Amino acid sequence: MKKQLFLLILLANGISFSQAQRKTFAQRADSVLKLMTLDEKVGQLNQYSGDWAHTGPITKDGDKQTQLRNGQLGSMLNVMGVQHTREIQEMAMQSRLKIPLLFGQDVIHGFRTTFPIPLGQAASWDITAIELAERIAGTEAAASGIHWTFSPMVDIARDARWGRVMEGSGEDTYLGSLIAAARVRGFQGKGIGNTDAVMACVKHYAAYGAAVGGRDYNSVDMSLNTLWQYYLPPFKAAVDAGVGSVMNSFNTLNGIPATANIYLVKDILKKQWKFDGIVVSDWGSVGGIIRHGYAATYKEAAMDAILAGCDMDMESRAYKDHLAKLVKEGKVPLKLVDESVKRILIKKFELGLFDDPYKFSNEAREEAQKNVPAHMAAARDLSRKSIVLLKNENHLLPLSAQIKTVAMIGPFAKAVKDNLGFWSMEWPDDSLTIVTQWDGIKNALGRNTEMLYAKGCNINDTDTSGFAEAMEVAAKADVVIMSVGEARDMSGEAKSRSNLHLPGMQEALIKAVHSTGKKIVLMINAGRPLVFDKAAAQADAILYTWWLGSQAGNAIGDVLTGAYNPSGKLPISFPRTEGQSPIYYNHLNTGHAAASDTINFYVTGYIDLRNSPAYPFGYGLSYTGFSYGDIKLNKTTINSSGKLVADISVTNTGNADGEETVQLYIRDLAASVSRPVKELKKFQKIFFKKGETKTVSFTLTVEDLKFYNDQLKYVAEPGDFKLFIGTNSDNVKETDFKLIK
């Protein structure tokens, strides 16, 4: 009765219910904390992987269950399913204080329903569809006993050699920040504690994507200006969206391991951004502080990490083995441990686990989340929006209804699980739907079209014995569809590649099929930008299909037949060769800018290669065409309180309805730090009926002109600006405006 009265009084005073709830959770956490021994407190900061699947070197098993019953574990990961999570939760409930476990999982692009890899989703530029995908993933995961997903990964990435580029949203900070917030909203839904929501975890904090040489886990060295301008904003967007947790990254940042980085965690994340959720290490990254040469022992590493605000130690056992001693020796204040434990307990209260540890262990709810038609429909929608049309010579696509025979050739034509990409869930049963490319295309083309098949070659070996059959099959067809690319496990964690070409004999296969003279539609399956200039010259049409997930075949079928007009735009620049990496559109002008995209001396560039990427950021074709009028500004001068309205008319000039992502970039011509030649500031994805013209309007304020100056102050400086609007970062109309005091 007292509690209800307390809450009624708060409500009467207009204090938001959530503040009252939060206060209650904190009070309830304090009441548990008071009862805990030091060992039990350290136990809450300890996280182990289950025995199902692991994403890192799994620790000695067997002793986990004893530790569970002794309350020496606060969380587990890689335990999936209502039955397994319940079993393990029951062990934790045998502990003295019955503190429930948190179950975490890498739900990166879907749980039961697999959506395109995140980089592919970013190519849709459809923030609403991306949020829906995470809403569905959160619902499916929560129904399977998962409380916590280690997602979204928001690492800005400019180097395609880095395997984890597949896991993020590409090179742009503005697009990446919008997607980061959308993913957090999707996962956490109406709030953690609902049985269709999971706590999100923004990662990897921070700047992991800038690993030198694109080599995973490598050092990161950058100015604080670059860190704040390009790499931190997506994390801030996630924090502002209410993300419940943050994961340290593996790398050092300017010589200090992120897991021990007081500046990153205590100063920026907690003090400046007021983040009060959980900070969890990456797998073994507390122990990694030794390997970085920053701590001499595990004990020192444990001290460095807890002092830097890392609450939970994933799989290094440094906290379990050394934290209590550090407290007893006075090297770590008990207060710090209490604060970390309290943050973890509060989340467990928010999730409702103290009230009902089995709240997420409902078998019927789990069963109901398998192969849900509405989820599959959402996956098909996002998958086809993620496909990027890179080339379409003589409008080969969409495939003409007159085509009677189609040859499908390549190692991915009939592949099944490859369509899921890296970081997809591995289910023991095969009860889940995966529509292969073969099946999807066959269904889409219908009974009147004869489909021929030849694998042609394997993904990555030297066998060319399948070429003859492939050429025979091609010769019998009206058009050839080739499905090539890298294997699903050639991108992702620990999958950096120095060579970005199509692996194995795939390029030779394309050349051989091309020699038959047949028209080729080339579909490239990959978790990153690949280098395929020779193949591109031999193909009449090119679709970049990333890894599209459960509905891959249907999405591809929809695009090939024109049931859906492709609208994807690249969220990352495609290098002409590995030698161009890292390459990104929002580069500085330098003092020797090349005047044109030709090889010149004494300019920023190479003596053996043009500067431009193979395909620029924001690039993607349509089955129709779009023409852009001139930009019209409501004024050419704004002050700090002004609004600049930029209008442009866009016309669908072709014979098909379609969507166009109209992109707005700016350039600050002279500032107290050099500013990039272009920065994406707004975009609108708009549907146009064929022949339709629309005026697309954008409004900019001084907020859109701000940047971090050399004192790391977020400022806008008076001066001249260029404003660009167009179909990609390299094809724009431009105008000028001025910011005055």
Give residues 76-95 in contact with ligand GLC (rule: CB under 6 A).
77
Establish if 150 lies at the interface with ligand GLC (CB under 6 A): yes
Q: How far apart are CA 394 and CA 700, in angstroms?
A: 39
> Strand 658-668 vs strand 245-248: parallel, antiparallel, or unpaired?
unpaired
Residues in contact with ligand GLC, counted by CB under 6 A, come to a total of: 9
Q: Report in angstroms how near the CB of residue 105 gets to ligand GLC at its nearest.
A: 8
Q: How far apart are CA 173 and CA 232, in angstroms?
A: 9
Give residues 191-230 in contact with ligand GLC (rule: CB under 6 A).
203
Q: What does the per-residue mask of binding to ligand GLC show for 406-445, with x meaning CB under 6 A?
A: ----------------------------------------
Establish if 493 lies at the interface with ligand GLC (CB under 6 A): yes
* Nearer of residues 52 and 358 to ligand GLC, judged by Cβ: 52
Pick the binder of ligand GLC from 126, 172, 282, 659 (CB under 6 A).
282
The encoded tokens of residue 719 equal 């001066």
Q: Which residues pair with 248 in a beta bridge?
A: 205
Establish if 155 lies at the interface with ligand GLC (CB under 6 A): no
* Nearer of residues 77 and 156 to ligand GLC, judged by Cβ: 77
* Nearer of residues 52 and 453 to ligand GLC, judged by Cβ: 52
Which of 186, 562, 567, 228 lies closest to 386, judged by CA? 567
* Nearer of residues 77 and 351 to ligand GLC, judged by Cβ: 77
Cα-flanking dihedrals φ and ψ of residue 11, to 5°?
A: -60, -45
Cβ neighbourhood burial of 206 (10 Å; 0-12, 13-18, 19+):
buried
* Nearer of residues 493 and 668 to ligand GLC, judged by Cβ: 493
Q: Report in angstroms how near the CB of residue 253 gets to ligand GLC at its nearest.
A: 16
* Nearer of residues 422 and 584 to ligand GLC, judged by Cβ: 422
Give Cβ neighbours of residue 279 (< 8 Å, ≥ 6 apart).
245, 246, 247, 248, 265, 269, 309, 310, 311, 312
Q: How far apart are CA 675 and CA 230, in angstroms?
A: 12
Q: Report in angstroms how near the CB of residue 150 gets to ligand GLC at its nearest.
A: 3
Establish if 495 lies at the interface with ligand GLC (CB under 6 A): no
* Nearer of residues 54 and 370 to ligand GLC, judged by Cβ: 54
Q: Report in angstroms how near the CB of residue 322 gets to ligand GLC at its nearest.
A: 22
Q: Which long-range contacts (CB under 8 A, 24 or more apart) does 560-563 make?
A: 560/397, 560/398, 560/399, 560/441, 560/444, 560/445, 560/481, 560/521, 561/398, 561/399, 561/444, 561/445, 562/397, 562/398, 562/399, 562/623, 562/656, 563/444
Q: How far apart are CA 482 and CA 505, in angstroms?
A: 13
Q: Report in angstroms how near the CB of residue 93 gets to ligand GLC at its nearest.
A: 25
Pick the binder of ligand GLC from 111, 115, 187, 283 (CB under 6 A).
283
DSSP string, 130-161: HHHHHHHHHHHHHTTT--EE---B------TT
Establish if 171 lies at the interface with ligand GLC (CB under 6 A): no
Give residues 24-63 in contact with ligand GLC (rule: CB under 6 A).
55-56
Residues labelled as active-site residues = 282
Cα 151–chain centre separation: 8
Within 10 A of 712 (CB to CB), how many other CB atoms are there? Answer: 13
Q: Which long-range contacts (CB under 8 A, 24 or more apart) does 709-718 make?
A: 709/225, 709/671, 709/672, 709/673, 710/225, 710/672, 710/673, 712/224, 712/225, 712/228, 716/640, 717/668, 717/671, 717/672
CA-based R_g, the chain, Å: 27
Q: Report in angstroms how near the CB of residue 162 gets to ligand GLC at its nearest.
A: 13
* Nearer of residues 162 and 623 to ligand GLC, judged by Cβ: 162
Q: Report in angstroms how near the CB of residue 370 gets to ligand GLC at its nearest.
A: 23
Q: Report in angstroms how near the CB of residue 208 gets to ligand GLC at its nearest.
A: 8
- 49: amino acid identity, one letter: S
Cα-flanking dihedrals φ and ψ of residue 345, to 5°?
A: -65, -40
Give residues 106-145 in contact with ligand GLC (rule: CB under 6 A).
106
Q: List residues binding ligand GLC (CB under 6 A).
A: 55-56, 77, 106, 150, 203, 282-283, 493
